[in-house]
A = this chain, B = another copy of it.
Amino acid sequence: MKKFEEKTVKTEPIFQGRVISLQVDTVELPNGKTSTRELIKHPGAVAVIALTADNKLVMVEQYRKALERTLIEIPAGKLEPGEEPEKTAIRELEEETGYTCEKMEHVISFYTSPGFADEIVHVFLAKKLRKLDTKKELDEDEFVELLEVTLEEAEQLIEGRRIYDAKTVFAVQFLRLQQLLNKKE
């Protein structure tokens, strides 16, 4: 038995949607008591840190219904079933920004909300960015606006809470850290 494992006594499926599903598990706690856990299943996602030749960060602004506002984020999207994250990353970069790249380098993966969801985000760094000749089509319910900003501008966007999500805050901090590490060498 794993440390602090919570054994499933019962699983109650509540909802199966296009993107997420919800179930409530009744669990046996390490002390023998029972409790319930509300659990969201999500297919997982990718996010792409993409820098242009003049060192600008490629971002997209889009409306987030869950927050009833737009956010400025790094390009991102959900995994299709069975799809390799690297392939999803290239597809989302191409569709959302009109850029493609020679290579996608895996930077890190992390769970976004381990308290209630299994969503994982795989973050990639796009190497050798170049504009596509013809822009690809977005999903038909997707509307995004392209932005290209310097690292300093991105940090100001965090201050102003227009960049306001975990993966994008991570990405901006990652680039600042890389810049400092490169300067040190």
The answer to whether B65 touches A4, judged by C-beta atoms less than 8 angstroms apart, is: no
B residues within 8 A CB of A66?
Answer: 37, 39-40, 111, 113-118
Interface of A: prevailing SS: mixed
Q: A63 and B115 in contact (CB under 8 A), knowing A14-B14, A180-B180?
A: no
A76 CB to nearest chain B CB (Å): 8
> How many copies, total?
2
State in angstroms the CA–CA spacing of A40 and B14 once bound together: 13
A27 CB to nearest chain B CB (Å): 6
State in angstroms the CA–CA spacing of A121 and B168 once bound together: 14
Contact of A62 among B4, B17, B31, B177 (CB under 8 A): B4
Number of interface residues of A (CB under 8 A): 72
A22 CB to nearest chain B CB (Å): 5
Contact of A33 among B27, B36, B141 (CB under 8 A): B141
Q: A169 and B170 in contact (CB under 8 A), knowing A35-B141, A164-B110?
A: yes
The answer to whether A121 touches B19, judged by C-beta atoms less than 8 angstroms apart, is: no
State in angstroms the CA–CA spacing of A39 and B22 once bound together: 11
Question: Which among A25, A140, A158, A173 has the greatest number of chain B C-beta atoms within 10 A?
Answer: A173
The answer to whether B15 touches A15, judged by C-beta atoms less than 8 angstroms apart, is: yes
Give the interface of A toward B (CB within 8 A).
Answer: 2-6, 14-15, 17-20, 22, 24-25, 27, 29-31, 33, 35-40, 42, 45, 61-67, 69-71, 73, 76, 78, 108-119, 121, 140-141, 143-145, 158, 164-167, 169-170, 173-174, 176-177, 180-181, 184
